[in-house]
Chain A
Amino acid sequence: MSAAIKFLLFLIVAGVMPILMGLLPMSFASLQRRHSHLIVVSGYLSCFALFELIGLPVLFFTPMGNFRLLVILDLAAEIIWIIAGLIRCARSGGVRSPGIVRAICPRRLRQAGQEAVEPLRDEVIFWVIFLALLGFQLVMSYRLASYDGDDAYYVAQSLQTWQTGTMYHYVPYTGVTTALDGRHAMAMMPMWIAMVAKLSGTHPTIVTHSMIPFVFLPLADVCLYFLMRALMYEKVNETRNRRMLPAFMVIMALLQIFGNVSIYTPETFLMLRTWQGKTVFAAVIVPTAFAALLLLAHRIADHASVRFPVILAFLINAAAGMCTSMAPFLAGGLLLLGGAFIAVAFRQKKAFLVMLPACIPNVIYAAILLRIMLPTLLS
């Protein structure tokens, strides 16, 4: 199989399919709010949440962690999820056209009864600068190698799984067999990468280092875009404010490139360890959690339905488990704390109460983790 076909398969498995998975959660939002960036964000969250949901039982209840079974089950579940989303969206009016489509062919959209956008000169300039900066980041991620010691764990786990069909039963540093390290194994991002590698017929280390940035870097930017739109809320539709979004994206892209003030910042992780679960936590989960909280606050203020922000919060909490073993607690804590602040600010208990069911995945995760860690904590 040629490298181009492998890359195409990679884009389908790690790009197109996760995005299409966003149709199902978006079908619960009104047609006016079915924006393309929300489809992308909720799609990846659904993808990670589903993988974690299927992956943990396979990991714990099959001998040596049957990776082949996980791939089959997850692929089937993804396809069912996508079909369900397509059907639900088609029956309820479809989705909104992406902003760029509305800007390029306004007449056709008006004929179709959709809102068209006349692009502003400054807006176009800022978008071009931002896309140039993103392009620069992508080229650098391919041309430069970032030697990170933690890859000896994460990437070796993906490769071990890819080569042996087992999950987390070998010490990645040395390759000797070991008992399942359940706590670290619960963060299944390396297994997702191994699955992407398997389905695209590519060495997992190539997928990790040379391909994943082409998906995760734009994904991180879509999350920031979502967050900025949530900050601007209704003001985002005012013509004079439309320039603010791409201007913000330019500033964020510069921060990503120049935010390496230490090895610990989220910007450093995003640029140098793009493929690691903790990066997904810092660059995807946290910004999306803030955006979900802002949506919740604005909906509470408007006395509107809070169903979509709650669904989003649920997906955030479920997807956080893929990142690190602490991520579900940090994400859940953040969402609960945010709910409490909104409840106080708007004097509505509802803001906090609706966050409680969204934390069900965290409770399940905590119960499993406690079961695993209890012997260690007691000894």
Chain B
Amino acid sequence: MSEILAMIAAYEGNGLLLVLYGIALVFLFLREDDKANRAIFLYMPLGLIVLLLLPPVHAVYSAIEGSDTYYRFLWLIPMGVTVGYAAIRQFTTSLKRGVVITGILIILCGTYVYHNENIVEAQNRLHLPEEVIDITDYILQDTGGQRCMVAMPAGLVQFVRQYDARILMPYGREMLMPQWSGYYHSVYEAMSSDPVDPEQLITALREYNCNYLVMAASRMGGVDLGDTGLIFLDTVDGYNIYRDPAESLSLMD
């Protein structure tokens, strides 16, 4: 039960919109005279809330889908629509005032979506970081358009294959997901170690037949990869690109 309540708390954030929903439900209980609306927008959501809180329901859902998506159960409860409908019904005779009051309440209780930390100014129509495009283009020009295995910095892995699927990677976004925090990958470990250990790095790269290595230039100060056999190609948008001549591109076909 505590897990379910924690999920609801995380879902509702500051909880103020939940309060608005509660008020809207009370309004429907007192004022809604349409039997159909009462059945579907009052009694059924209450039934769904009871179901949601039942530990066996949580257990069954978690067994099939995993408990981390249990919050989607809350999507079945029409909170926003109920708030909107109750507001319109309450202010039927003075609708303009009602919309203004409800709008102010929503603005005060809610959070502006475009201030979300994951939102940035788009650099291109792909909505991908420009450096990902530049680095990928550089490498694919070097391979003549052939598929290749590239070890990318962790910060770029989630974007690379949204730009071009010809880039293969020894590890991807799975290394960054909290639910797979115990996952070990030698290339990830070698690239994350500070300072970079050239011997550990080249061993890991060859284990996964990596044709290219991309590392932030800022991390390579004082690191000499000359003895590893990697050839430095260029620095693109602050990232050093290396090629391993010992690895054949034909392995990727």
Contacts and interface: CB of A to CB of B under 8 A. Distances in A.
Interface of A: 122, 125-126, 140, 142-149, 151-153, 155-156, 159-160, 162-164, 170-176, 203, 205-206, 209-210, 224, 227-228, 231, 233, 241, 243-244, 247-248, 250-252, 254-262, 264-268, 271-272, 278, 281-282, 286-287, 290, 293-294, 297-298, 301, 324-326, 330, 334, 337-338, 341-342, 344-346, 373
Q: Main SS of the interface on chain B?
A: helix
B162 A205 contact: yes
Interface in B79-98: 80-81, 83-85, 87-88, 92, 95-96, 98
Interface in B47-105: 47-48, 64-65, 69, 71-76, 78, 80-81, 83-85, 87-88, 92, 95-96, 98-99, 102-103
B65 A326 contact: yes
Given A173-B157, A254-B103, A294-B40, A145 B122 contact: yes
Contact of A244 (B44, B88, B123, B163): B88
Given A164-B165, A301-B35, A260 B72 contact: no
Given A145-B123, A147-B118, A231-B37, 18 more contacts: A140-B114, A144-B119, A145-B119, A145-B121, A152-B157, A162-B165, A170-B165, A173-B161, A174-B170, A227-B81, A247-B99, A259-B111, A260-B111, A262-B12, A272-B113, A290-B41, A294-B37, A294-B40
B29 interface: no
Contacts of B128: 145, 205
B110 A159 contact: no
21 contacts: A149-B173, A152-B157, A152-B158, A173-B171, A175-B167, A224-B81, A231-B81, A231-B85, A255-B84, A259-B110, A262-B10, A264-B74, A272-B113, A272-B118, A297-B35, A297-B40, A338-B44, A345-B35, A345-B38, A345-B43, A346-B39
Contact of B113 (A153, A257, A287): A257
Contact of A267 (B41, B44, B80, B98): B80
Interface residues of B, number: 83
Closest 3 CB pairs of A and B: A173-B172, A258-B110, A261-B13
Contacts of A325: 65
Interface in B147-173: 147, 157-159, 161-173
B85 A228 contact: yes
A257 B112 CA distance: 6
B40 A271 contact: no
A290 B107 CA distance: 26
Interface of B: 10-14, 16-17, 34-41, 43-44, 47-48, 64-65, 69, 71-76, 78, 80-81, 83-85, 87-88, 92, 95-96, 98-99, 102-103, 106-107, 109-116, 118-123, 125-128, 147, 157-159, 161-174, 176-177
B165 A209 contact: no
Contact of A146 (B39, B64, B119, B167): B119
A21 B211 CA distance: 48
A124 to B, nearest CB: 13
Given A224-B81, A228-B85, A341-B39, A205 B163 contact: yes
Contact of A205 (B48, B113, B127, B167): B127
B25 to A, nearest CB: 15
Interface centre among A145, A163, A324, A334 (most CB of B within 10 A): A145
A209 to B, nearest CB: 4
B176 to A, nearest CB: 7
A298 B166 contact: no
A156 B106 contact: no
A326 B72 contact: yes
Nearest to A161: B165
Given A205-B162, A247-B95, A251-B84, A171 B172 contact: yes
B94 to A, nearest CB: 11
A210 B125 CA distance: 6
Contacts of B95: 122, 126, 243-244, 247
Contacts of B115: 260
Q: Which of B87, B112, B114 has the most CB of A within 10 A?
A: B114
Nearest to A170: B165
